[in-house]
């Protein structure tokens, strides 16, 4: 019997995932959390074989949670189930320590197969992402064609960009990411430079448009 925890701030989705997973006799959901902080507080007592994690969480992001879990309990396998565009996030999650990435829109069909594959010690991603990972390995340090301009952003810069798109102020972003206001301002300046925006207003406009586009996918 394999034990699994679910980390997602949408209770209905968590319950639906739990029902789907527990139809399999060899899989048992032993915990459901709605934040990274709650997960880190319970992870050692629960000692799951696998954590199913969403990227967008209140407080600490799912990406940061992956890195913390890798550091504290590397034996716990991690599968990301997220609405975020896989071409922008899947490779980042794998690099951070996750073993698989499933889009929420396809989770119903793929989730059990993905869990079983990850528990077997293999990686589960779509054919598109698998091809990109293999291409990235084959090309080594050479630059590859980017699917999105946002790929130039670091993980933290992407978090700041997303929160900006949700309308969060510099201070609110600082509190959520446990950073200083000055550090967030520095990240925003880097984002402007990398994406060739002329002003903070242009950054805000594009961030809002991107978040709205993500929400409609």
Give per-residue pLDDT as tens, 31-50: 999 999 999 999 999 999 99
Instruction: Using the predicted structure, report yes or no on whether residue 26 has a pLDDT greater than 90.
Output: yes
Q: Return the CATH number of 149-215, one of 1.10.10.10, 1.20.1730.10, 1.10.472.10, 1.20.1250.20.
A: 1.10.10.10
1, 46, 74, 95, 100 from 50: Cα distances, Å: 12, 11, 11, 17, 11
Look at residue 184 in the predicted model and tell me its pLDDT.
93
Length in residues, the chain: 217
**Distance separating alpha carbons of residues 90 and 100, to the nearest angstrom:** 8
Instruction: Using the predicted structure, report yes or no on whether residue 217 has a pLDDT greater than 50.
Output: no
Q: What is the pTM of this model?
A: 0.76
Instruction: Report, as an integer, the average pLDDT of 65-90.
Output: 89
Instruction: Report, as an integer, the average pLDDT of 9-19.
Output: 91
Instruction: Report, as an integer, the average pLDDT of 158-166.
Output: 90
Measured from the Cβ of residue 144, the count of other Cβ atoms closer than 10 Å reads 11
- C-alpha count within 13 angstroms, C-beta hemisphere, residue 137: 7
The topology (CATH level 3) of 2-138 is Rossmann fold (3.40.50)
- The domain spans of the chain are 2-138, 149-215
Look at residue 127 in the predicted model and tell me its pLDDT.
73
């Amino acid at each position: 019997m394999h034990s699994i925890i679910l980390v997602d701030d949408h209770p209905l989705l968590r319950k639906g995932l739990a029902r789907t997973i527990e139809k399999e006799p060899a899989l048992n959901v032993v915990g459901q959390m709605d934040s990274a902080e709650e997960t880190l507080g319970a992870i050692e007592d629960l000692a799951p074989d696998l954590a199913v994690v969403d990227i967008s969480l209140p407080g600490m992001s799912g990406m940061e949670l992956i890195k913390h879990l890798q550091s504290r309990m590397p034996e716990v396998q991690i599968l990301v189930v997220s609405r975020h565009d896989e071409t922008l996030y899947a490779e980042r999650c794998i690099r951070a320590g996750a073993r698989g990435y499933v889009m929420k829109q396809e989770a119903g069909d793929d989730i059990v197969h993905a869990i079983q594959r990850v528990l077997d010690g293999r990686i589960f991603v779509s054919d598109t992402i698998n091809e990109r990972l293999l291409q990235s390995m084959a090309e080594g340090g050479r630059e590859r064609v980017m699917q999105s301009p946002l790929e130039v952003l670091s993980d933290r810069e992407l978090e700041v960009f997303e929160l900006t798109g949700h309308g969060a102020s510099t201070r609110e972003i600082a509190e959520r990411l446990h950073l200083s206001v000055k550090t967030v301002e520095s990240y925003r300046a880097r984002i402007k430079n990398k994406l060739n925006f002329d002003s903070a207003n242009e950054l805000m406009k594009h961030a809002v448009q991107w978040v709205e586009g993500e929400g409609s996918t």
